[in-house]
Amino acid sequence: MAKGQRISPLVVQEALASGDDRFLELLRQVDDGKAVVSLVERWQKDFRPWAREQMLAFLDGSLDGPVDRLIVKRLFKRAEADRDDALMGAFMACFDRLARRREHAR
């Protein structure tokens, strides 16, 4: 996709429905917050193993995109409410990687 072009949430929705491996890449290109929330809600309700693998892959990647915070917040709240220990463990590892660490000489 050329720079400056916006991606339609319908394309991302179709990628989610079909189990397309480009789903995460497409989701990160959506710049409308309401559309992202709607897509994440659909993603959370998807009980296919593929959807869960995509959640874990999302948490394993870098979280520096403009909508990544919104996605993380929605996924985290749902995992917390569902008491999903495996997904919460993935979140803890993800959050640990986000912490900035520096060595200090004494």
Which amino acid belongs to residue 100?
Answer: R
* Token code pair at residue 74: 């929605």
**Which pLDDT band, with edges at 50, 70 and 90, does 99 fall under?**
confident
How far apart, in whole angstroms, are the C-alpha atoms of residue 86 and residue 92?
A: 10
Q: Is residue 2 part of a domain?
A: no
In a 13 Å sphere around the CA of 102, the CA atoms on its Cβ side amount to: 3
Q: Is residue 106 part of a domain?
A: no
Per-residue pLDDT at 102: 79
In a 13 Å sphere around the CA of 37, the CA atoms on its Cβ side amount to: 4
Could you list the residue range(s) of the whole structural domain that residue 73 is in?
A: 9-98
Render pLDDT for 13-50 as a digit per residue (tens, 0 to 9). Answer: 999 999 999 999 999 888 888 999 999 999 999 899 99
Structurally, the chain folds into a number of domains equal to: 1
Per-residue pLDDT at 32: 85
Render pLDDT for 46-80 as a digit per residue (tens, 0 to 9). Answer: 899 999 999 999 999 888 878 888 999 999 999 99
How large a percentage of the chain has pLDDT more than 90?
Answer: 58
- Mean pLDDT of the chain, nearest integer: 88
Angle at 14 between CA 79 and CA 19, to 5 degrees: 60
Q: Is residue 104 part of a domain?
A: no
Contact in structure between 48 and 19 (CB atoms under 8 Å) = yes
Contact in structure between 5 and 31 (CB atoms under 8 Å) = no
